Chain A
Amino acid sequence: MTWLVWRQYRAQGAIAVALLAAFAAVILADGFQLASHWHSILTTCSGNSACLQQQVPLVNGVVSDLPDISLIVPTVLGILWGAPLVAHELESRTTDFAWAQSVTRTRWLAVKIGWLLLAAAACGGVIAALTTWWSGPINALSASAFVPGQFDTQGIVPIGYAVFAMALGIAAGTVARRTLPAIAVALGGFIALRLVISTFLRPHYMAAVTTYYKVTGSFTPPGQAWVLSQGAVSRNGVTVAQGWGDLYPALPASCQRLLPSAPTGKSGSENAVFSCMQAHGWRGFATYQPAGRYWPFQGIETGIYVLLAAALIGLTFVIIRRRDA
């Protein structure tokens, strides 16, 4: 069986390895340059964080899109390879050849899926490792490790995405029985799910931490934490995000008059407004995911995608086993 998989996919495999090698060449060449640039910055700034922040963004132009490319390649490969895995064989009737050999359908499917999922994981893993290494200096200057485009392209989550994309392609092809609709459905489904999970689910993998502080002071969570919301909260629980526009209607009239851009009354300083707020019982708050949760979040997100992939593969097996050929 393995030989059949090898014979069927050796051409595509060679293309994938070539693409991977090209990506590695670009990212290694640029990565070493970026690293030396970073070291000279470190020497120049000698620990001055303001000086360091002036260097942001560290990369410009096409190179800054490298992480995005690293995200697209395993996804597209997964869907383009996964969708035809069953669908194309059904379309071209070669299942009638394969299933007429002394191999059960279940085994045929297991071997094919096994190797392709492994290939997807390897592809995603190699690209993620290269991207993580390349992003080192950018990560060092980043305020948060959870920024989209950074969290999604590094660590282990890209492996989860690649495996899931492959599984989605396979399942879509098995349900649709035709390659092109399966590719379209899988691509749309993948993008939609990624958006939903990263927007609505990811911030809540673990209960966020909320810290209250004097509204006259300031607070920054330690490390590259993920600040979900920050602002001020009144004694009655009215929360206002940072920004004067939102703040104005929520403030007591006595404080409103102190706002720098207040339409009526005399203009005051920001500090006067904050003091006034504090006098009325307002506190500052910051809700965030601590920096230390980076790896747990990576693990949870990868786990979600791997579990979804497992469910899709299970569905594929059920359909193929039940199907009359």
Chain B
Amino acid sequence: MKPHSTAIETHELSKRYRRVSALTECTVTVPEGRISALVGPNGAGKTTLLRMLAGLTRPTGGTACVLDDVPRQDSAFLAEIGFLAQEIPLYRRFSAEDHIRIGAHMNPSWDASLVRTHLTQLRIPLDQRVGTLSGGQRAQVALALTLAKRPRLLLLDEPVAALDPLARRNFLATLTGAVVEAGGGLTVVLSSHLVTDLERVCNHLILLAGSRVQLCGDIDTLLAEHKVLAGESGRLVRIKGPVTDPADQTRTVTLEQLVVAYMGADEASADTHLTTIGEGS
């Protein structure tokens, strides 16, 4: 496996529904093996982007390249994508075991023992209707089923939104465990509003606002590029080069500060309302 190959590369990917634009000219790159946080206000286009990457929704403009392939309805492509929708869709009347058997019939490679072992460890009953399980247990069942496909790309749409803190922690632990186990062969895009959670598990960021990409890149790099001014208002600024003006004493920025600053952006890029300081290098 190539160390620096890209898992996702989109170029001006757009989606319009009649007169509403859900996503506008989205250009992002996610290197393979990353856990990417997809953040943005409600309606920013996160779900649309994930669904287009999963081959479920067709773009109205631009291109997407996912795992060196065009996302589409093709069993070979679908086999490599693990997609978990926001509502944690499961057949409520079926047990986890039923789902495991359905998955075995609908996927070329299927690791049933992975699901069984994992759910048993979490003490989640396999023979009980999933409708009777707690939200956290259902999310774990759904994630385990998604991982059983042995996907190379995992697209998770706000899977922890409805979970309590402990269930969230367990869910994310399962996720990071799977990424470690895959040894760089698994890329994850995870959308969420809970930046503290994302800060713990993610090393890549895609920030959407106003249906456009505001930020995309390695979290550490992005944090290094931004500083909070020490004096006066504590404004967030972008650092383009060495800061020479002694008045510009700066402090490091947290992911939360960064996200909140860019989330306020409307139609145009956040560049306009963010001051850039430092000498251009």
Contact = CB atoms under 8 A, between A and B. Distances in A.
Nearest to A107: B75
B105 interface: yes
Interface stretch (B78-86, B209-217, B233-241): B78-86
Contacts of B103: 101
B140 to A, nearest CB: 15
Interface stretch (A92-100, A112-120, A207-215, A298-306): A92-100
A324 B105 contact: no
B90 interface: yes
Nearest to B22: A324
A256 B149 CA distance: 90
B94 A104 contact: no
Interface string A245-269: 0000000000000000000000000
Contact of A94 (B54, B90, B101, B108): B90
A325 B52 CA distance: 9
Nearest to B15: A324
A124 B105 CA distance: 30
A105 B56 CA distance: 9
B51 interface: yes
A37 to B, nearest CB: 48
B74 A324 contact: no
Interface in B95-114: 98-99, 101-103, 105-108
B3 interface: no
A102 B78 contact: yes
Pick from B74, B91, B98, B149 the residue with the most CB of A within 10 Å: B91
A96 B89 contact: yes
B193 interface: no
Contacts of B99: 97
Interface residues of B, number: 34
Contact of A102 (B91, B98, B108): B108
A103 interface: yes
B183 to A, nearest CB: 22
A2 B105 CA distance: 8
Interface string A157-199: 0000000000000000000000000000000000000000000
A8 B87 CA distance: 20
B85 A92 contact: no
A3 interface: yes
A123 B12 CA distance: 53
A105 B89 contact: no
A26 interface: no
B105 A93 contact: no
Nearest to B99: A97
A4 B74 contact: no
Contact of A104 (B57, B74, B81, B102): B74
Given A3-B101, A325-B57, A101 B91 contact: no
Contacts of B81: 100
Interface string A202-229: 0000000000000000000000000000
Interface of A: 1-4, 7-8, 92-107, 321, 324-325
Closest 8 CB pairs of A and B: A101-B106, A102-B79, A96-B85, A96-B89, A325-B56, A3-B105, A324-B57, A93-B89
Interface of B: 51, 54, 56-58, 73-76, 78-79, 81-85, 87, 89-92, 94, 98-99, 101-103, 105-108, 142, 146, 149
Given A97-B90, A104-B75, 6 more contacts: A2-B105, A7-B102, A100-B82, A101-B107, A103-B78, A104-B73
5 contacts: A93-B85, A98-B106, A100-B81, A102-B106, A103-B106
